[in-house]
Amino acid sequence: MAAPFTLSPLPYEENALAPVISGKTIGFHYHKHHQTYVDTLNKLVEGTKYADMKLEEIVRATVKAIDENEKKIFNNAGQVWNHDFYWQSLTPKKPKPGGDLKKAIERDFGTVDTLIEELAKTGKEQFGSGWAWLVSKDGKLSVDKTSNAVDPMAMGTNCLLTVDVWEHAYYLDYQNERPKYLEAVLSKLLNWDFAAQNFAKELSRQQSAATASRYEDAKSDVGKAYSRPQEIAEAKDLSLQQKVELLKQWEIDLRGLMVASDENMPSTAPGQTAELLRGVRSQLTRLGAPEHEPAAVNKAGG
């Protein structure tokens, strides 16, 4: 049976980051340390439920493990994930922050240089082995540090970039001078394009969550959320299925109004209701919904 985890390819040649990080350091770091974490993880998960799980799932499931074997699984799974992320956080291409990421950096740090200073300080202050991270939570950027194999992703925080501050990441090139290593890497090798991609993923998740929340709110009172059926049909933040469900729910509500015996209903309301109902049916036809009596939508979202 093939091992579930393999060593991910480097995104560049082994000497591409020189002279900041030498090909010799990359060779030892990647082929020795990173490979050992992969090999050890495969041995530890063999015959367990973790053999069929994705790497991120294993890290999250074992980050607070009490069982000694699961602790070992976490340490190696965490280090595999951290190293995969670290290699992608670096690049010889020297991109610059742009777009939403640049705006967020300026909002939360003032300047890119200030952010780099914060990352360097965080990396220097990490006692012993560990990692320095640029992360985002709810769209806000911050820096963080973790020890050993721990990473913010395991705790549900979105990671944008990381720098490895284990000694094997820099000792061949900088000996014990971690600050020099950090200064060089942070000023010359950070992959801002990778950071932007990771930041965009969080913004997309936030947008999806907000859309889902608005949709659930609208289901409870469609007529309050929208003034015209056409607004639903043309909404850019709703899927086709969501549009059809909202329109059908509105149709149910309007039919209920038309058959209700409400002595306090204004004399013009029945005509307005009928007009809205015709508009709803028109938009359902426009969207290709079948012509039949609609089934009720569960307003509780279940």
One digit per residue, the tens of pLDDT, for the chain of length 302 reads 567 999 999 999 999 999 999 999 999 999 999 999 999 999 999 999 999 999 999 999 999 999 999 999 999 999 999 999 999 999 999 999 999 999 999 999 999 999 999 999 999 999 999 999 999 998 899 999 999 999 999 999 999 999 999 999 999 999 999 999 999 999 999 999 999 999 998 887 766 666 666 777 777 788 888 888 998 999 888 889 888 988 988 888 888 877 764 444 444 456 788 888 899 989 999 998 876 554 444 444 43
**Do 167 and 270 fall within a single domain?**
no
* Under 8 Å between Cβ of 118 and 39: no
**Do 239 and 139 fall within a single domain?**
no
Q: Cα 222 to chain center, whole Å?
A: 31
Distance (Å, whole) CA 169 – CA 181: 9
Who contacts 172 (Cβ-Cβ below 8 Å, separation ≥6)?
A: 22, 24, 25, 28
Distance (Å, whole) CA 57 – CA 47: 17
In a domain, 183, yes or no: yes
pLDDT in the model for residue 178? 97
**Do 149 and 199 fall within a single domain?**
yes
**Do 130 and 171 fall within a single domain?**
yes
Distance (Å, whole) CA 123 – CA 135: 14
Distance (Å, whole) CA 146 – CA 151: 6
Who contacts 242 (Cβ-Cβ below 8 Å, separation ≥6)?
A: 215
**Do 159 and 247 fall within a single domain?**
no
* Under 8 Å between Cβ of 22 and 15: yes
Query: In 155-238, where does DSSP find H-type helix?
Result: 171-174, 178-188, 192-220, 222-225, 229-233
Residue 12 DSSP SS3: coil
**Do 136 and 251 fall within a single domain?**
no
The structure tokens listed for 13 are 């040649």
3-state helix, strand, coil in the chain (%, to 5): 60, 10, 30
Please count the CA atoms within 13 angstroms of the CA of 22 that sit on its side-chain side: 10
Who contacts 279 (Cβ-Cβ below 8 Å, separation ≥6)?
A: 228, 229, 230
Length of the chain: 302
DSSP for 88-150 reads HHB-SS-----HHHHHHHHHHTSSHHHHHHHHHHHHHHS-SSEEEEEEEETTEEEEEEEETT-
**Do 238 and 97 fall within a single domain?**
no
pTM greater than 0.85 (yes/no) = no
pLDDT in the model for residue 296? 45
**Do 156 and 251 fall within a single domain?**
no
DSSP single-letter state for residue 19: T
Neighbours of 153 (CB within 10 A): 21
pLDDT in the model for residue 270? 64
pLDDT in the model for residue 291? 60
> Residue 68 belongs to a domain with what CATH number?
3.55.40.20
**Do 197 and 281 fall within a single domain?**
no
Q: Give the range of the structural domain holding residue 155, as residue numbers without chain letter.
A: 23-203
pLDDT in the model for residue 266? 47
The structure tokens listed for 275 are 């007009």
**Do 174 and 259 fall within a single domain?**
no
In a domain, 4, yes or no: no
pLDDT in the model for residue 272? 81
**Do 103 and 238 fall within a single domain?**
no
Please count the CA atoms within 13 angstroms of the CA of 162 that sit on its side-chain side: 27
Instruction: Say if residue 11 is preceded by a cis peptide, omega within 30 of 0.
Output: no
* Under 8 Å between Cβ of 135 and 157: yes
pLDDT in the model for residue 197? 95
In a domain, 3, yes or no: no
Neighbours of 67 (CB within 10 A): 10
Who contacts 7 (Cβ-Cβ below 8 Å, separation ≥6)?
A: 30, 34, 35, 38
pLDDT in the model for residue 237? 80
Number of domains in the chain: 2
